[in-house]
Amino acid sequence: MNSLLDESTTQSEAKIKHASTPSDYNKCESDSIIKFTYFANNFNHNFIQEVWGTNSLGQHLKDKWDMLGHEQMAFKTATQHVKEGNYYGQRLSGTDNFYKFYMMLDSYNKEVLNNYISNK
């Protein structure tokens, strides 16, 4: 996460910022990881609209996010039904949902989100 997309660039014009020394790289990586982790644990309820807007891509990504929320709700009702000590679902927290959502993004949209988090 040491590269950032300039807010005004498109996918084909991506400008990459590189650390120049090992200590710069370590600081840049640490700062990025800390920011990303804090964001994953404290994201705004409307972060998708803030990052991608309300256009078709924003709606598509919001639908993915909503699907993860439905999985979480389904587990809450399924946990009432335990069969031989095995749960029927997997408990997902909001942070777990964020990490799953992030891994569903393509590389360009990961960079867009990384840029948003880095500049937040």
92 in a structural domain: yes
86 in a structural domain: yes
% the chain with pLDDT above 70: 57
Do 65 and 48 contact (CB within 8 A), yes or no? yes
DSSP-assigned states of every residue in 73-117: HHHHHHTT--BTTB-SS----HHHHHHHHHHHS-HHHHHHHHHHH
**Where in the sequence is the domain holding 51, given as residue range(s)?**
14-119
70 in a structural domain: yes
90 in a structural domain: yes
Phi, psi of 8 (to 5 degrees): -90, 0
- pTM score above 0.75: no
60 in a structural domain: yes
SS3 71: helix
6 in a structural domain: no
pLDDT digits over 64-100, tens only? 998 887 666 555 555 555 554 444 445 557 888 899 9
The total number of structural domains that make up the chain: 1
DSSP count for the chain of H helices, then E strands: 5, 0
Lowest mean pLDDT of 14-28, 43-57, 76-90, name the range: 76-90
